[in-house]
Chains A and B, each alone.
Chain A
């Protein structure tokens, strides 16, 4: 670090976080723009333990970098409540900084604040695929923190509740993330015949549902090898970037569920049970498929537009409950929702896979006809994935043409199904899910209005 760093703020509180394994994160900081003193760092979170990384930052350096992120924000003209993301790659310093800029009330004044995460530049490739996950989670934490600030409480406790899990997530991804290139030999698709590793219909259901839920699945089981084989198999159907947002299960102790990962393997406890984290699953950007490899069951969450609707309602309920909270100690994210009487979450969010498809079924029927051990199955898989992606783009373009880029409502779903050969409901779900990842909000645009109307009508009727 350069010697020209400004002196550290007199009393910057620091939380040292004990993380299992090497944490790629250097530090996280909360800074704000003091109207008299300029940028000030309020709190630093740093992983404890032996420094595993070449870049080591002192507190002074961290303060300098955190201040750096607030430079220029005096001009900020964003709407109240907006959280803007800034991303720095400072080669001179050899660091990457992710800053979330927001406004909040401190000591009766409205200040511009920044929550920053600092990583070594060498971790840029590792971090980039996970950027959206981290930002989404931190954004929601900031929403809660702003309420806390408004009420005059310390935001740090709220931020700590999310920063520590993110450090743990990054640490776990460092050791257990799915590689970008998966050897098909490590997957079910290398079996001599369909049904060798797992039941034929189970495999079909698992892959089909996995694709219908935008490639977002949790694989639960007691045997780590079995779980990881299915995790790798499902990851074959993801893009390389998405694979890097997927995690294998840990054989000697289970990870906890992490919101936002595409595929994650989770081990049951010694009693053979697994506690489903309702809130975290609901906060995932996409609906999730639940696959239990012990009992060969596949369950899925409702499609994107319903998932987003439920998610928003839950978020609003959670934030509303926080607003009403009486004191600083009254913040327990998983329990706070129960204090809100206006929203009763439907805990039965996982349902059976209802819609059959022909795409995955055909693929599985055919891929096992090819001889294993050669690259034939990989090639055939690549062709299948290319087909899916091209169909998704075609569907997107079709809707874009029909609606004049969203200016008109979409009313020709039947024609779309016929024209694009998606008459099977499962096929449509798979392609729609892929298209959703390309164009976020597509489900809500196509299916949302009738759904929201019916839900509102139901709520009104229930109100009487």
Chain B
């Protein structure tokens, strides 16, 4: 009886239930899916098939005993590969016939020959498992292995195939380095092993020799035992010869590979394994020539052993582990390198790739990178500063930076500022005088270091230890080129110049004039010369009144005394009849004309006080390209009586209200010196106290920033303050809250510095006006104590220059802001969910801002006359129109102008010279209080 189940076996699959299938239709296995993504698929799910969640590195071996086997993963741990079958995948990646070259006894050669095979690289995958790998095959040497070789592979395993192929060159380069390191360690260990074996063999030979002699003596030369012993001895002799040859081969390898840049030479004669991992065996290595010698240097610690005639069977012996196959130092180096590779390529490809593109693009915009970018994008520039002009000028056709042209500091006063502010000038003229011989980096740091120098000076006089410590630490100038370290370094150079005996406190008095302008004056007891030496930077308020020839001339005097070379140049700049030195790229010289016009009152004050108020003229004398360029294009622009044009006329945005100048010394009021703070309190960078700020930290700050924007409706006003250069004080009694707010706001601080020098996260002592030049964002401890009183006093005293965010009261006191620029950057209605996403958004917005500032700075039409008949008013009007086009609100224009000032400063000073302009700007705009 045949039942239906029996019949099923005779039917074809297709006949069952597929009666209505149209065979003319293409089966799906030959087709492409109609939609790129089905219901459950999405762009992120392509990598979700894999049984592991994150990329990892796998080291596998083709064991001669058990076949392909996984050895270890990086990172280590069972969670790394999840349920992914490492055994199966090892089998797959090791089954590639990677080793085509012959190893062992070549035909016609009776001795084993080591063949140094090149590594091979393979990208393969298992689409079913969703695992793809970059596999780096390498061969290690083992005296006990078949053919002396142990095949290994190191694989980078990812669920994203595209990632592996797109990063192939990078992966290949990194794995090649790691492989070369491992192989170097292996050659060293292998040589060591051979030498030990040779000792054993020689010891065995000696024993056998004795035994043979004994046999000969007792049984005669031709006895069976004697012949056996003689054969055994001959085998040992042969083995010694072979091993010596192997040793010669392994030690001659470095000569072959010397040309390879990745090659790590090692001392083959240093047979003692460098178990001390802290010790680099390379350091003790002898000259290369010596390493070629096949002579054996015996390790005294090794006791030779007798080798038996028959060795253990193949499967009885234990194969060495990877760690045993390699010198420990190199093994750990390799592991460290592999860990680093895993970290480097961790994460989604789109982030890695965008970062790579970003880095390449940032290299092309070094002039603005210092504003908001990671230090790595502009620090490189500093290290290459010696070759900067040689290479970059040729490649980029950029005019050389100012610092390398005339060998003199740059005068920023010669360049126009359209900032609608009153300028307090930090005059580095004296510093130049004093430190002419010093490195320009250090000299430039003086203007930002003044406050610190005061305090440290004070501390030194009191026998404070802090400054001494600073000196010691800052002796390593290479790693501390940023502002903060420069400060202390400057102090160390400054200190010998301070005339200790005449040192006095300069008590400043405030005279409130009718127009509420703060006028600070020095006491009569102060000797101007002393002031110059002690306080190289000066702050003075500027009056934008007409005339000012006298002042200009007076201001020039110190310059002439400083450097006679600059005289002609200064004349060139200040004499309206002569040609103005300008930077044809950034068109700054022309602006300088408008900016330099001083007020008569100021001039009188200047001369009365005898304070140097004019920096030596910068302007890039050696820049022939600029001069030629300018002469050709805009030669006639200086024809007009520029000095008669007031800043207000040149730039209607400029306030015509009261301005004056004051010396910085004047600002150092008595309360400033009641501070109980130490130097270290003022020099500690805010983030990690000495560590450079990383993008990761900024991303974390993005979370705080997002919270801040959502919580505080006046976030835009606060951010505007920072972007326009107005110092923002975060005041609070809780340190944690204040620091969080400072951290949140720090991402908006232009020119944050490598170590975050522009930010003081926590200050428990009163600040001075000079501090505001350095720190643009300060967290201040609000306490009810004498110290707290002095803090409040300083806040009150400098209230008009700063904005205050009270974390306790949740209020912000700052000038009103009604622009649109920051609205895009900080909209409290934003639906952005994560801080890291917000950071990316902020980064984009700040990039856009940088681009605009760059355009504003280097756009010729905005700063230079287009034709000879055009006067400065037209140029100024054009500038205004540009700012209006950029944003309807003048408040937004201020941001652009401030950033432009910083760019100018950075460009003209050259990289690594500090960026803070000597002009401290603030607005005489009534502040209002914002509340939640």
* Chain A residues within CB distance 8 Å of chain B: 2, 4, 64, 68, 71-72, 75, 77-82, 84-93, 125, 128, 131-132, 143, 146-147, 150, 239-240, 305, 308-309, 312-313, 315-316, 319-320, 323-324, 366, 369-371, 373-376, 378-380, 382-387, 389-394, 396-398, 400-403, 405-407, 412, 415-416, 418-421, 438-442, 444-445, 448, 452
Q: A387-B844, A391-B844 are in contact. Are A87 and B358 (CB under 8 A)?
A: no
In contact, B26 and A319 (Cβ under 8 angstroms): yes
* Chain B residues within CB distance 8 Å of chain A: 24-26, 28-37, 42-46, 91-92, 95-98, 100-102, 117-128, 161-162, 165, 168-169, 172, 349-351, 353-354, 357-358, 360-362, 364-365, 367-368, 396-399, 584-585, 824, 827, 830-834, 836-837, 840-841, 843-845, 847-848, 850-851, 854-855, 858-862
Instruction: Indicate which residue in A90, A312, A387, A400 contacts B847 across the interface (CB closer than 8 Å).
Output: A387
Q: A143-B32, A309-B35, A366-B855 are in contact. Are A405 and B354 (CB under 8 A)?
A: no
The distance in angstroms between the C-alpha atoms of A307 and B104, with both chains bound, is: 58
The distance in angstroms between the C-alpha atoms of A84 and B32, with both chains bound, is: 15
Instruction: Indicate which residue in A75, A313, A394, A415 contacts B841 across the interface (CB closer than 8 Å).
Output: A394
In contact, A400 and B44 (Cβ under 8 angstroms): yes
Q: Which residue of B lies closest to A431 (CB)?
A: B844
Instruction: Kindly list chain A residues whose C-beta atoms are within 8 Å of the C-beta of B353.
Output: 438
- The minimal Cβ–Cβ distance linking A454 to chain B, given in whole angstroms, is 14
The distance in angstroms between the C-alpha atoms of A442 and B45, with both chains bound, is: 12
Could you list 15 further interchain pairs (A-B, Cβ under 8 angstroms) beyond the known A84-B125, A86-B125, A89-B121?
A2-B102, A72-B96, A78-B127, A80-B29, A308-B36, A309-B36, A369-B861, A376-B585, A383-B365, A383-B847, A383-B851, A389-B357, A393-B350, A438-B354, A448-B35
The distance in angstroms between the C-alpha atoms of A309 and B121, with both chains bound, is: 36
**Across the A-B interface, the 8 shortest Cβ-Cβ residue pairs:** A406-B42, A72-B95, A91-B118, A382-B364, A438-B350, A383-B851, A87-B123, A375-B396
Instruction: Kindly list chain B residues whose C-beta atoms are within 8 Å of the C-beta of A89.
Output: 120-122, 172
- The minimal Cβ–Cβ distance linking B832 to chain A, given in whole angstroms, is 6
Name the residue among B31, B168, B843 with the largest chain A CB count within 10 angstroms: B31
In contact, A396 and B350 (Cβ under 8 angstroms): yes
The distance in angstroms between the C-alpha atoms of A77 and B790, with both chains bound, is: 77
In contact, B840 and A390 (Cβ under 8 angstroms): yes
In contact, A380 and B855 (Cβ under 8 angstroms): yes
Instruction: Kindly list chain A residues whose C-beta atoms are within 8 Å of the C-beta of B91.
Output: 75
- The minimal Cβ–Cβ distance linking B175 to chain A, given in whole angstroms, is 11
Q: A87-B165, A382-B365 are in contact. Are A146 and B357 (CB under 8 A)?
A: no
In contact, B827 and A323 (Cβ under 8 angstroms): no
The distance in angstroms between the C-alpha atoms of A279 and B44, with both chains bound, is: 29
Q: A320-B25, A412-B831, A438-B353 are in contact. Are A383 and B92 (CB under 8 A)?
A: no
In contact, A386 and B847 (Cβ under 8 angstroms): yes
Instruction: Kindly list chain A residues whose C-beta atoms are within 8 Å of the C-beta of B169.
Output: 125, 128
The distance in angstroms between the C-alpha atoms of A396 and B352, with both chains bound, is: 13
In contact, B397 and A375 (Cβ under 8 angstroms): yes
Instruction: Kindly list chain B residues whose C-beta atoms are within 8 Å of the C-beta of A75.
Output: 91-92, 95
In contact, B831 and A323 (Cβ under 8 angstroms): no
In contact, B26 and A320 (Cβ under 8 angstroms): yes
In contact, B120 and A90 (Cβ under 8 angstroms): yes
Q: Which residue of B lies closest to A69 (CB)?
A: B96
Instruction: Kindly list chain A residues whose C-beta atoms are within 8 Å of the C-beta of B161.
Output: 85
- The minimal Cβ–Cβ distance linking B147 to chain A, given in whole angstroms, is 14
Pull 24 A–B residue pairs with CB atoms less than 8 Å apart, ordered by A.
Answer: A71-B95, A75-B95, A79-B29, A90-B120, A92-B118, A143-B30, A319-B31, A369-B859, A369-B861, A382-B362, A383-B361, A383-B368, A386-B362, A389-B357, A390-B358, A390-B847, A397-B840, A402-B833, A407-B42, A412-B831, A420-B841, A442-B43, A448-B35, A448-B37
- The minimal Cβ–Cβ distance linking B885 to chain A, given in whole angstroms, is 9
Instruction: Kindly list chain B residues whose C-beta atoms are within 8 Å of the C-beta of A376.
Output: 585, 858
In contact, B831 and A382 (Cβ under 8 angstroms): no
- The minimal Cβ–Cβ distance linking B626 to chain A, given in whole angstroms, is 10
Q: Which residue of B lies closest to A304 (CB)?
A: B36
Instruction: Kindly list chain B residues whose C-beta atoms are within 8 Å of the C-beta of A407.
Output: 42
- The minimal Cβ–Cβ distance linking B183 to chain A, given in whole angstroms, is 13
- The minimal Cβ–Cβ distance linking B378 to chain A, given in whole angstroms, is 14
Q: Which residue of A lies closest to B355 (CB)?
A: A393
Instruction: Kindly list chain A residues whose C-beta atoms are within 8 Å of the C-beta of B824.
Output: 421
Instruction: Kindly list chain B residues whose C-beta atoms are within 8 Å of the C-beta of A315.
Output: 32
In contact, A393 and B35 (Cβ under 8 angstroms): no
Name the residue among B95, B118, B124, B125 with the largest chain A CB count within 10 angstroms: B124
Name the residue among B42, B98, B831, B848 with the largest chain A CB count within 10 angstroms: B42
Q: A92-B100, A401-B837, A441-B43 are in contact. Are A77 and B128 (CB under 8 A)?
A: yes
Instruction: Kindly list chain B residues whose C-beta atoms are within 8 Å of the C-beta of A77.
Output: 126, 128
In contact, B24 and A444 (Cβ under 8 angstroms): no
The distance in angstroms between the C-alpha atoms of A6 and B191, with both chains bound, is: 34
In contact, B26 and A323 (Cβ under 8 angstroms): yes
- The minimal Cβ–Cβ distance linking A236 to chain B, given in whole angstroms, is 12
In contact, A78 and B354 (Cβ under 8 angstroms): no
In contact, B844 and A85 (Cβ under 8 angstroms): no
Instruction: Kindly list chain A residues whose C-beta atoms are within 8 Å of the C-beta of B365.
Output: 379, 382-383, 386
The distance in angstroms between the C-alpha atoms of A376 and B119, with both chains bound, is: 45
In contact, B361 and A386 (Cβ under 8 angstroms): yes
The distance in angstroms between the C-alpha atoms of A384 and B34, with both chains bound, is: 37
Q: Which residue of A lies closest to B366 (CB)?
A: A379
- The minimal Cβ–Cβ distance linking A313 to chain B, given in whole angstroms, is 7
Instruction: Indicate which residue in A68, A319, A370 contacts B855 across the interface (CB closer than 8 Å).
Output: A370
In contact, A379 and B32 (Cβ under 8 angstroms): no
Q: A87-B123, A91-B120, A92-B101 are in contact. Are A448 and B31 (CB under 8 A)?
A: no
Q: Which residue of B lies closest to A72 (CB)?
A: B95
Instruction: Kindly list chain B residues whose C-beta atoms are within 8 Å of the C-beta of A131.
Output: 165
In contact, A401 and B833 (Cβ under 8 angstroms): yes
Instruction: Kindly list chain B residues whose C-beta atoms are within 8 Å of the C-beta of A382.
Output: 361-362, 364-365
- The minimal Cβ–Cβ distance linking A417 to chain B, given in whole angstroms, is 11
Instruction: Indicate which residue in B45, B121, B851, B859 contacts A387 across the interface (CB closer than 8 Å).
Output: B851
In contact, A385 and B361 (Cβ under 8 angstroms): yes
In contact, A91 and B165 (Cβ under 8 angstroms): no
The distance in angstroms between the C-alpha atoms of A385 and B357, with both chains bound, is: 9
In contact, A312 and B100 (Cβ under 8 angstroms): no
Instruction: Kindly list chain A residues whose C-beta atoms are within 8 Å of the C-beta of B843.
Output: 390, 394
Instruction: Kindly list chain B residues whose C-beta atoms are within 8 Å of the C-beta of A369.
Output: 855, 859-862
Q: A312-B36, A324-B24, A400-B44 are in contact. Are A72 and B92 (CB under 8 A)?
A: yes
The distance in angstroms between the C-alpha atoms of A420 and B843, with both chains bound, is: 11
In contact, B832 and A419 (Cβ under 8 angstroms): yes
Q: A80-B29, A91-B120 are in contact. Are A452 and B840 (CB under 8 A)?
A: no
Instruction: Kindly list chain A residues whose C-beta atoms are within 8 Å of the C-beta of B127.
Output: 78-79, 82, 84
The distance in angstroms between the C-alpha atoms of A270 and B36, with both chains bound, is: 41
Q: Which residue of A lies closest to B129 (CB)?
A: A77
In contact, A379 and B367 (Cβ under 8 angstroms): yes
In contact, B840 and A393 (Cβ under 8 angstroms): yes
Instruction: Indicate which residue in B35, B358, B840 contacts A394 across the interface (CB closer than 8 Å).
Output: B840
